Amino acid sequence: MATKDRCVSIVPYFKVPAGKMDAFKELCAQFVKKSEPEPKCLYYGWSFCGDLASCREGYADAQGLLVHLESVGGLLDQAGKMAELVRVEIHGLEEELAQLREPPAGLNAQFFTLEANGFRR
């Protein structure tokens, strides 16, 4: 049965300098290990295209994302020293996004509002 989709997704994109991709992928494995036990994390994984790395991740709600950002803060600092954060997208219902507009302000995120009565199975 479908329910109202309260999921919040975040997609950061990192440009990894030449010669740093292997080390960055090792860091990605640490992100996955750190994120896996989070109860509100619905999915989490890294994708790569040339020198770009992207993390595709979703949370049950805004609070799940906030807990995640706190949990991986140290790893994010390491990633920022190793690669350039070039874009961050956050997608969700406006009532969830409203809780996120201030806390991750340092990420310079672009917010996409879910409309058209989305659903989740």
pLDDT band at 43 (very low <50, low <70, confident <90, very high): very high
pLDDT at 52 over 70: yes
Q: What is the pTM of this model?
A: 0.91
- Residue 108, Cα to own-chain centre: how many angstroms? 13
Q: What is the pLDDT of residue 5?
A: 78
Give me the DSSP letters along 97-111. HTTTSSTTGGG-PEE
Please check the confidence at residue 66 and state whether its pLDDT lies above 90: yes
110-113 β-sheet, strand order = 41-49, 52-59, 8-15, 84-92, 110-113
Domain count, the chain: 1
Confidence of residue 115 (pLDDT cuts 50, 70, 90): confident
CATH at 19: 3.30.70.100
Q: By residue range, what is the domain housing residue 60?
A: 3-120
Does the pLDDT of residue 120 top 90, yes or no?
no
